Amino acid sequence: MVDLSEKLRNLMGKISSLVSFSDKEIDEIVKDLQRTLLQADVDVDLVFELSGNIRKKAKKDPEAGISKKEYITKLIYNELVEILGGEEEAVNLEPHSILLLGLFGSGKTSLAGKLANFYKSRGMEVVVIGCDFSRPAAFEQLKQVADSIKVPIISGENLKNAKKELEKQKANIIIIDSAGRDALDKDMTKELKEIDSLFAPEEKYLVIPAELGQDARRQAEEFKKSINITGVVVTKMDSTAKGGATLTACKTAGAKIRFLGVGEKVTDLENYDPTRFVSRLLGFGDLQGLLDKFKMKEEEAKKIAEGELDLNTFHQQITEMQKQGSMKKMLDMIPGFGSMKLPEGAIDVGEEKMKKWKYVIDSMTKEEREQPEILKSSRVERIAKGSGTKVQEVNELISNFKKMKKMMKKMNPNKMKKFRGMGDIARMFGG
């Protein structure tokens, strides 16, 4: 993965140093991305589909407050997340059983230990069942892992006995290790179907080593057809540059990726989250601020569109502003405020005032924050006393909040750029 990650980070670095994004620059970015993905063994059709999407969307203008650079960075991020699996699947902590299957040496037995450790450390009662008797040492290997993490093990040499043995245990996570083969043949299918029909596991995970690359697609399709797998675990992500290609291949085969094996130790397991994966590929630290920004814009836009702005939202905005460290940055994030030019002095005054307003809102009851219209003079006096401010300042906050709410209601988030009421808002924050 190191190669892919390094190349993608270089590309992101290149994007961040660009000053203009004409068709020519966009074309170069797309070509660079194509080359990187193809070198990492990602399927050609998929690469062209992805680059087509990016090329098309990159030409659109971003919404107010988002720069073209940020827009393109987020676009690439989105498209990569999409080909790597889309949404994260939450970890299933309901009682269930899991059958691990796959070809020779794919990492099944190691994974049995990793999963056992994963669920045990989440407070579940785990038991493993060893069903590989093709090699004398196979059961012993699993037993060693199970012993090391103090998880009980059942021998599956005789399946019916194993089933009886299992009924005596109070386990709520059952992990079944099976024998590998060179290829999926009749014997393997038969053996797996026997285990399947006896234990009826809720999950059947095909274990695929990351070095398989594009070929993972065919393998996942084959196993899906004959065994009806419910997901895939990609192991050895730590030791190949082809991991990304393997993940996209599984996704293309319609197989859900559930976990990643990232090393030989029992703790080297990760629940698979495409967004986290892509963030890491692209350099998470640099990306996090940008992702937060988009998320916040989305939430703000939603609240405004639904007319939900109350003093709680207002309070949140002030808190967020203080985290961002400046009024200007904060305004950039509110749809419609991004392109507003404020004189420097006015911003400082605004920041001081915002701090005071926060104390004022802190002194309000829940009801008052949600329905500012009930704030009559006796309440205002109480709030002023409680927050150490003047009645006049409380009133000022209320009137500014009302103005802001009215203004935001007028702004359709999709038409923000047409909004021309900037002067009013500048005056409002300037004091």
Ligand X SMILES: Nc1nc2c(ncn2[C@@H]2O[C@H](COP(=O)(O)OP(=O)(O)OP(=O)(O)O)[C@@H](O)[C@H]2O)c(=O)[nH]1
Task: Give the interface with ligand X as residue ranges (CB under 6 A).
Answer: 102, 104-110, 132, 138, 180, 235-236, 238-239, 261-264, 268
Q: What is the distance between the alpha carbons of residues 106 and 181, in angstroms, rounded to a whole number?
A: 10
Hey, what amino acid is at 236? K
What is the smallest separation between the CB atom of 176 and ligand X, expressed in angstroms?
12
Q: Which residues pair with 203 in a beta bridge?
A: 98
Q: Which stretch binds Mg ion (CB under 5 A): 106-114, 149-157, 159-167, 277-285?
A: 106-114
219 near Mg ion, judged by CB under 5 A = no
Q: What is the distance between the alpha carbons of residues 358 and 316, in angstroms, rounded to a whole number?
A: 9
What is the smallest separation between the CB atom of 172 and ligand X, expressed in angstroms?
24
109 near Mg ion, judged by CB under 5 A = yes
What is the smallest separation between the CB atom of 192 and Mg ion, expressed in angstroms?
14
What is the smallest separation between the CB atom of 278 and ligand X, expressed in angstroms?
20
Nearest to ligand X of 37, 138 (CB atom):
138
Contact criterion met (CB below 8 Å) for 227 and 193: yes
The entry of Mg ion, ligand X, none that residue 386 binds, CB within 5 to 8 Å by partner kind: none
Nearest to Mg ion of 109, 240 (CB atom):
109
What is the smallest separation between the CB atom of 228 and ligand X, expressed in angstroms?
20
Nearest to Mg ion of 108, 114 (CB atom):
108
Q: What is the distance between the alpha carbons of residues 139 and 149, in angstroms, rounded to a whole number?
A: 16
Q: What is the distance between the alpha carbons of residues 128 and 332, in angstroms, rounded to a whole number?
A: 54
Residue closest to ligand X (Cβ): 180
Nearest to ligand X of 28, 238 (CB atom):
238
User: DSSP string spanning 336-368?
Assistant: TTTT----HHHHHHHHHHHHHHHHHHHTS-HHH
Strand 257-261 vs strand 269-271: parallel, antiparallel, or unpaired? antiparallel
Nearest to Mg ion of 109, 389 (CB atom):
109
Q: Which residues pair with 114 in a beta bridge?
A: none
Q: What is the distance between the alpha carbons of residues 102 and 206, in angstroms, rounded to a whole number?
A: 5
Contact criterion met (CB below 8 Å) for 143 and 123: no
What is the smallest separation between the CB atom of 234 and ligand X, expressed in angstroms?
9
Q: Which stretch binds Mg ion (CB under 5 A): 30-38, 101-109, 240-248, 275-283?
A: 101-109
DSSP assignment, residue 96? E
Count of residues making up the chain:
431
Q: Is 276 exposed, middle or buried (0-12, 13-18, 19+ CB in 10 A)?
A: middle
What is the smallest separation between the CB atom of 240 and ligand X, expressed in angstroms?
9
Nearest to ligand X of 264, 381 (CB atom):
264
Q: What is the distance between the alpha carbons of residues 399 and 260, in angstroms, rounded to a whole number?
A: 54
The entry of Mg ion, ligand X, none that residue 235 binds, CB within 5 to 8 Å by partner kind: ligand X
Hey, what amino acid is at 222? E
The entry of ligand X, Mg ion, none that residue 219 binds, CB within 5 to 8 Å by partner kind: none
What is the smallest separation between the CB atom of 50 and ligand X, expressed in angstroms?
27
The entry of Mg ion, ligand X, none that residue 264 binds, CB within 5 to 8 Å by partner kind: ligand X
What is the smallest separation between the CB atom of 352 and ligand X, expressed in angstroms?
55
Nearest to Mg ion of 19, 183 (CB atom):
183
Hey, what amino acid is at 240? T
Residue 320 dihedral angles phi and psi, to the nearest 5°: -60, -40
The entry of ligand X, Mg ion, none that residue 217 binds, CB within 5 to 8 Å by partner kind: none
Q: What is the distance between the alpha carbons of residues 155 and 164, in angstroms, rounded to a whole number?
A: 11
Q: Which stretch binds Mg ion (CB under 5 A): 38-46, 107-115, 305-313, 386-394?
A: 107-115
Q: What is the distance between the alpha carbons of residues 32 and 18, in angstroms, rounded to a whole number?
A: 14
User: Which residues, 6+ apart, have CB-to-CB distance to 265 below 8 Å?
Assistant: none
Contact criterion met (CB below 8 Å) for 421 and 407: yes
The entry of Mg ion, ligand X, none that residue 263 binds, CB within 5 to 8 Å by partner kind: ligand X
Strand 257-261 vs strand 231-235: parallel, antiparallel, or unpaired? parallel
Nearest to Mg ion of 130, 274 (CB atom):
130
The entry of ligand X, Mg ion, none that residue 105 binds, CB within 5 to 8 Å by partner kind: ligand X
Nearest to ligand X of 208, 318 (CB atom):
208
Nearest to ligand X of 47, 100 (CB atom):
100
Contact criterion met (CB below 8 Å) for 92 and 81: no
What is the smallest separation between the CB atom of 100 and Mg ion, expressed in angstroms?
9
The entry of Mg ion, ligand X, none that residue 110 binds, CB within 5 to 8 Å by partner kind: ligand X
**Residues of this chain that bind Mg ion (CB under 5 A):** 108-109
